[in-house]
C-alpha cells in the first residue's frame, strides 16, 4: 500500500480532517486565481493578501485587506463570488450528511465512503439530500437576486452590472459572507427599508440552517396531508426559531439604548438597529460606522458574534442552540434537576457534551489568538479584540484595522476564520466517534469545585 492510498484511507476514517483539508485546498486554489494579473486592478496582489481574501470568501467571513469594490476587477469579484458559494454550499452539505449519518446510526468512517455495494440506501439518501440542499440554497438566492435586480434601477445601476450586483449581494447575504461591492458596505443605504429588509431576510434564512427548513417542509406537508393535523416540530427547530428571535430583539434593544445619541441611527433608529442586530451575529454587512460605536455596543456585538447562527447553516459562531443548551443546563443546575429537558423532551448527554466542548474550544481559541494579536498589532485594545471575535465568528465587521494588520496578524486572522468556520463541526465529528472510555472504567472520587 503506497503513501497516497494510506493518506486517503486515513482521511476517510477522519471526516473532520477531510473537511479541513477540503477547505484548505479550495482556499489555495482560490488564492491562486486571485493572484492572476486580471483579478486585480493593479495587476498584482501578495500571496498573503490573496490567501486572506480567499479564506474570507470560502469561510464566508467578509473581513478584507483590499477593497472588494475598488481593488478587484470583475473577474476577481467573480472568483470571490464563486468562493463564497462553494464555502456556503460545502459547509451546509457536509453538516447535513454528517447529521444524517448520526440519525441513521451509520459509523462515520463507513458512511463517509458512500460505497454503493455496502449501503445503497444511504448513498441514495445522501444524493437526495444534496439535491434538496442545492434547490434550497439556489431558490433563496435566485429570489433574492430578482428582488435586488429591480431595486438597483432606482440607484441608477443598469445593464450587466445590475445583474452582477444582484447575484453577488444575494449570494453574499444568504451565505452570511458580508462581502459587498460598495466600499462602505451598506452605510449609504442605512435608511432604505426595502434593501435592509431583503438583505436581512436572506441573512436570517441562510443563518437558520438547512435542518430547520427541512423540518418546516415536512411539517407543512404533514399539515396538508392530514388536514390541519400535524406532527410536532423537532426540538432543534423550536430552539433555533425562538433563540433567533430572542437574540435579534436583544440586539435591537441594546442598540436603541446604547446608541441613542449616535447620528448614524438618528434617521430611522429602529430600522438601523434591526438590520445591524441581524447582520452582527454572522453576516458582517454594516450600515453604521463601527469605529464610532460605544463601549457597551462593542461588548454587545462581540457577544452576538460569539453566538452566531444555526447549526448546519452558513452562519458562524458557536451557534444559537449551543448557547440555549448551556442556558438550559445552568437552569437545570439551579433547580437541582438531574436531567436537562425542554418542550417535553430530555436532551441527550451527547448534546450537552457537544455544547460544552464547543464553548470551551471557542473560549480558549479566542483567548489565545486575542493575546497573540495584542502582542503583534499596534492599535486600540477594543478594536483588536473586536477583530478577533469577528474573525472567529466569521462575521466580517471591523473597526477598520484589517488592511493595516502585520504579516503575522494576517496569518492569525486567517487561522481564526478557518477555525471559526470548521471548528464546531469538526468537534461534533470527533465527539460522535466511539467512546473509548467504555473499555475501561476507574473508581469514582469526588473533588472540590469552587
What's the pTM? 0.88
Closest CA to 243 of 308, 147, 196: 308
- Is residue 292's pLDDT more than 60? yes
How many Å apart are CA 258 and CA 264, to the nearest integer?
Answer: 12
Share above pLDDT 70 across residues of the chain, in percent, rounded to a whole number: 82
How many Å apart are CA 218 and CA 231, to the nearest integer?
Answer: 9
Q: What is the pLDDT of residue 71?
A: 96
Instruction: For residue 300, give the 3-state DSSP assignment.
Output: helix
Residue 40 pairs in a beta bridge with 72
- Is residue 12's pLDDT more than 90? no
How many Å apart are CA 55 and CA 34, to the nearest integer?
Answer: 12
pLDDT band of 417, cuts 50, 70, 90: very high
Query: Whole-number mean pLDDT of the chain?
Result: 85
More confident of the two residues 141 and 430: 141
Closest CA to 295 of 396, 366, 382, 395: 382
How many Å apart are CA 357 and CA 203, to the nearest integer?
Answer: 27
How many Å apart are CA 368 and CA 423, to the nearest integer?
Answer: 15
* DSSP code of residue 188: G
More confident of the two residues 89 and 24: 24
Cβ atoms within 10 A of the Cβ of 444, count?
5
pLDDT band of 357, cuts 50, 70, 90: confident
Q: What is the pLDDT of residue 229?
A: 63
Q: What is the pLDDT of residue 31?
A: 97
- Tens digit of each residue's pLDDT (9 = 90 or more) over 207-229: 998 888 888 888 887 777 776 66
More confident of the two residues 235 and 117: 235
Q: What is the pLDDT of residue 282?
A: 86
How many Å apart are CA 95 and CA 97, to the nearest integer?
Answer: 6
Lowest pLDDT segment from 90-94, 133-137, 148-152, 445-449: 90-94
Q: What is the pLDDT of residue 7?
A: 53
- Is residue 438's pLDDT more than 60? no
Q: What is the pLDDT of residue 405?
A: 96
- Tens digit of each residue's pLDDT (9 = 90 or more) over 192-203: 999 999 999 999
How many Å apart are CA 103 and CA 62, to the nearest integer?
Answer: 33
Cα–Cα separations (whole angstroms), residue 67 to 297, 378, 405, 406: 26, 22, 14, 17
Q: Please check whether residue 365 is in contact with residue 426, taking contact to mean a CB–CB distance below 8 angstroms.
A: no
Q: What is the pLDDT of residue 354?
A: 85
- Is residue 118's pLDDT more than 90? no
pLDDT band of 115, cuts 50, 70, 90: very low
Cell of residue 109, nine digits: 468512517
pLDDT band of 301, cuts 50, 70, 90: very high
Q: Please check whether residue 62 is in contact with residue 50, taking contact to mean a CB–CB distance below 8 angstroms.
A: no
Cell of residue 308, nine digits: 452566531
- Is residue 109's pLDDT more than 60? no
Cell of residue 382, nine digits: 477594543
* DSSP string across 359-377: HHHHHHHHHHHHHHHHHH-
Q: What is the pLDDT of residue 100?
A: 58
Q: Three-state SS string across 193-216, please? A: HHHHHHHHHHHHHHHHCHHHHHHH
Cβ atoms within 10 A of the Cβ of 113, count?
15
Interior angle at CA 203, CA 393 and CA 219, nearest 5: 110
Identify the helix (H) or strand (E) that includes residue 342. strand 341-342
C-alpha 203, offset from chain centre: 10
Q: Please check whether residue 21 is in contact with residue 11, taking contact to mean a CB–CB distance below 8 angstroms.
A: yes
Q: What is the pLDDT of residue 449?
A: 72
* DSSP code of residue 439: G
Share above pLDDT 90 across residues of the chain, in percent, rounded to a whole number: 58
* DSSP code of residue 346: E
- Tens digit of each residue's pLDDT (9 = 90 or more) over 227-283: 666 678 889 899 999 999 999 999 999 999 999 999 999 989 999 999 999 999 989
Q: What is the pLDDT of residue 113?
A: 38
How many Å apart are CA 85 and CA 100, to the nearest integer?
Answer: 22
Q: What is the pLDDT of residue 117?
A: 32
Instruction: For residue 88, give the 3-state DSSP assignment.
Output: helix
Burial pattern 182-201, b for ≥16 Cβ within 10 A else e, equals: eeebbeebbebeebbebbbb
Q: What average pLDDT does this structure show over 169-186?
A: 94
- Is residue 304's pLDDT more than 60? yes
Q: What average pLDDT does this structure show over 13-34?
A: 83
How many Å apart are CA 40 and CA 313, to the nearest integer?
Answer: 31
Compute the Cα dihedral for 10, 11, 12, 14 and give only its sign. positive
Closest CA to 55 of 411, 425, 429: 411
Lowest pLDDT segment from 35-49, 56-70, 223-237, 367-381: 223-237
Amino acid at each position: 500500500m503506497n503513501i497516497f492510498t494510506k493518506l486517503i484511507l486515513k482521511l476517510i476514517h477522519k471526516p473532520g480532517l477531510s473537511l479541513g483539508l477540503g477547505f484548505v485546498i479550495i482556499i489555495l486554489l482560490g488564492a491562486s486565481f486571485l493572484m492572476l494579473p486580471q483579478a486585480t486592478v493593479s495587476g498584482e496582489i501578495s500571496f498573503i493578501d490573496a490567501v486572506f481574501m480567499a479564506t474570507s470568501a470560502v469561510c464566508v467571513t467578509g473581513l478584507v485587506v483590499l477593497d472588494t469594490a475598488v481593488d478587484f476587477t470583475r473577474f476577481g469579484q467573480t472568483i470571490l463570488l464563486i468562493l463564497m458559494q462553494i464555502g456556503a454550499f460545502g459547509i451546509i452539505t457536509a453538516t447535513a450528511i454528517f447529521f444524517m449519518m448520526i440519525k441513521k446510526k451509520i459509523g462515520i468512517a463507513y458512511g463517509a465512503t458512500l460505497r454503493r455495494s455496502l449501503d445503497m440506501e444511504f448513498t441514495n439518501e445522501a444524493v437526495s439530500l444534496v439535491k434538496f440542499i442545492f434547490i434550497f440554497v439556489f431558490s433563496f438566492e435566485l429570489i433574492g437576486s430578482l428582488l435586488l435586480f429591480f431595486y438597483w434601477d432606482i440607484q441608477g445601476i443598469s445593464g450587466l452590472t445590475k445583474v452582477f450586483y444582484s447575484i453577488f449581494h444575494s449570494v453574499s447575504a444568504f451565505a452570511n459572507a458580508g462581502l459587498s461591492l460598495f466600499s462602505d458596505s451598506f452605510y449609504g443605504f442605512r435608511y432604505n427599508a426595502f434593501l435592509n429588509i431583503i438583505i436581512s431576510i436572506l441573512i436570517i434564512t441562510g443563518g437558520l440552517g438547512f435542518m430547520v427548513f427541512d423540518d418546516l417542509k415536512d411539517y407543512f406537508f404533514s399539515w396538508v396531508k392530514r388536514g390541519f393535523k400535524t406532527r410536532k416540530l423537532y426540538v432543534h427547530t423550536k430552539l433555533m426559531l425562538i433563540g433567533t428571535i430572542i437574540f435579534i430583539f436583544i440586539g435591537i434593544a441594546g442598540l436603541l439604548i446604547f446608541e441613542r445619541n449616535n447620528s448614524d441611527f438618528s434617521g430611522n433608529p429602529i430600522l438601523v438597529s434591526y438590520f445591524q442586530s441581524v447582520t452582527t451575529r454572522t453576516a458582517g454587512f454594516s450600515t453604521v460606522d463601527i469605529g464610532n460605536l460605544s463601549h457597551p455596543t462593542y461588548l454587545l456585538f462581540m457577544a452576538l458574534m460569539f453566538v452566531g447562527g444555526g447549526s448546519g447553516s452558513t452562519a458562524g459562531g458557536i451557534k444559537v442552540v449551543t448557547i440555549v443548551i448551556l442556558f438550559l443546563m445552568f437552569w437545570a443546575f439551579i433547580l437541582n434537576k438531574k436531567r436537562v429537558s425542554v418542550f417535553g423532551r430530555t436532551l441527550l448527554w451527547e448534546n450537552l457534551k457537544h455544547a460544552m466542548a464547543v464553548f470551551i474550544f471557542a473560549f480558549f481559541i479566542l483567548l489565545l489568538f486575542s493575546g497573540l494579536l495584542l502582542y503583534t498589532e499596534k492599535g486600540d485594545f477594543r478594536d483588536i479584540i473586536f477583530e478577533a471575535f469577528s474573525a472567529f465568528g466569521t462575521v466580517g465587521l471591523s473597526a477598520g484595522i484589517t488592511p493595516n494588520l502585520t504579516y503575522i496578524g494576517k496569518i492569525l486572522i486567517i487561522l481564526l476564520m478557518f477555525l471559526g468556520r470548521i471548528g464546531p463541526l469538526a468537534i461534533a465529528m470527533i465527539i460522535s466517534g466511539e467512546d473509548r472510555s467504555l473499555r475501561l472504567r476507574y473508581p469514582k472520587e469526588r473533588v472540590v469545585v469552587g
